[in-house]
Amino acid sequence: MLEVSESKLAQYIIHFIDDALVLGEESLTQPEVMLEAAFTQLAFSKIDLEQQFEFFHETNIGLNEVYTYVRAIFEQENSFLEQSINIAKHLHSVSQHPNIKSGELFIGLFDNCFLSTAAKKIIAIVKIDEKEMFLDVKNDQNKMVINGIDGINVKKVNNMAIIVDMGPEQTPAVFMKTKRKEDIIYWQERFLKIKAADEHYYKTNLALTECKKYILKEESFTNTEKLGLLNKTLDYFRNEDEFQVNNYIETVFENAEPTQKDIIINSVKPYETVISESALEKAEKKYKRKIKLDSNIEIQVNVQDIEKVDELIEVGYDESTNRKFYKIYFQEEL
């Protein structure tokens, strides 16, 4: 659990990443209250704290650029400006691709952040790719004045990372968020160069995500079949110690066609792993258990057995009204 309500933005700077790199000339301190609150929201509001990462390098961790620069800041805060420039230059060097947009790079050093009740220093790195139009409305001597402002939405998802100082004897903890799935390669692998701290959590989470994606997109499944398959998927992960794709297909998709099996195998084979209970708990909150209808009616379904779903919910078509319907069977209301 990360708590930043009492945090202080000790230093911050903004660079601009473009074909021509524009560097901030000085680090800033003591922002006014509203600006500090905006920067805090920009840095922390959309970050994923359920998946922790760590820096790595194939031969020597000291050759990991971002790791080296942030450790230098944690050890000597007066190097913030110099190291923030190094971070900006490194990001610029890995951003030379037409699909990577130019934009502002916010780097901030926060004090008094609490992670598991212990006060920590955190460096936040946020790349802002897009600006939005805002209306600035003011009452100027009883006259309303409205101006359009091109600005940054601090609540919007950006490519971002927060790096937590865990002390001189431990590697920093890293939490990350990307705006798009396609950004993972350049942001996670090339810029930050981080890997999942808990590989089992990471792979279990991805396996559950890809299984869910396949079931929901497969057009040959009815809505009730999709609900049943999703519940059987969760049941499989609850009952097994390891995720093995062939065993998963045999257990959940008993009559899967060869083409379907190939699609599933290609999607989730890389994520075979020892099943992480915490990743499963996270997935259970997001797995679909509802049928949403265009009449603004939602049917909540918690039945795990797909055969029971088909027995309890019947789909039909009424020719007299030219509309579809669901018929639900039950013994009594609870």
pLDDT digits (tens, 9 = 90+) for 209-248: 999 999 989 888 887 788 888 888 998 999 999 999 999 9
pLDDT reported for residue 222: 81
pLDDT reported for residue 303: 58
Place of tokens 């091109």: 150
Strands 118-128 and 103-115: antiparallel
pLDDT reported for residue 178: 93
pLDDT reported for residue 307: 59
Residue 128 has φ and ψ, to the nearest 5°, of -105, 115
pLDDT in tens, 122-170: 999 999 998 888 888 888 888 888 888 888 888 888 999 999 999 988 9
pLDDT bucket at 35, cuts 50 / 70 / 90: very high
pLDDT bucket at 17, cuts 50 / 70 / 90: very high
pLDDT bucket at 310, cuts 50 / 70 / 90: low
Residue 333 amino acid letter: E
Share of the chain above pLDDT 90, in %: 57
First to last CA, the chain: 37
> For the stretch 133-166, what's the b/e string if a residue is b when 16 or more beta carbons lie within 10 angstroms of its beta carbon?
eeeeeeeeeeeeeeeeeeebebeeebbbbbbbbb
Strands 132-139 and 159-164: unpaired
Tallying the residues shown for the chain, one arrives at: 334
Residue 238 amino acid letter: R
- Give the DSSP per-residue string, 1-69: -EE-TT-EEEEEEEEEESSS-B--SS-B----HHHHHHHHHHHHTT---SS-EEE--SS-GGG-HHHHH
Give the list of residues 6+ apart from residue 36 with CB closer than 8 angstroms, or none: 8, 9
pTM: 0.75
- Give the DSSP per-residue string, 199-262: HHHHHHHHHHHHHHHHHHH-TTS-HHHHHHHHHHHHHHHHH-SEE-HHHHHHHH-TT--HHHHH
Q: How far is CA 259 from CA 201, 210, 225, 255, in A?
A: 29, 16, 18, 12
Lowest mean pLDDT among 104-108, 116-120, 271-275, 284-288: 284-288
- The span from the CA of 156 to the CA of 179, in Å, is 9
Chain-wide mean pLDDT for the chain? 89
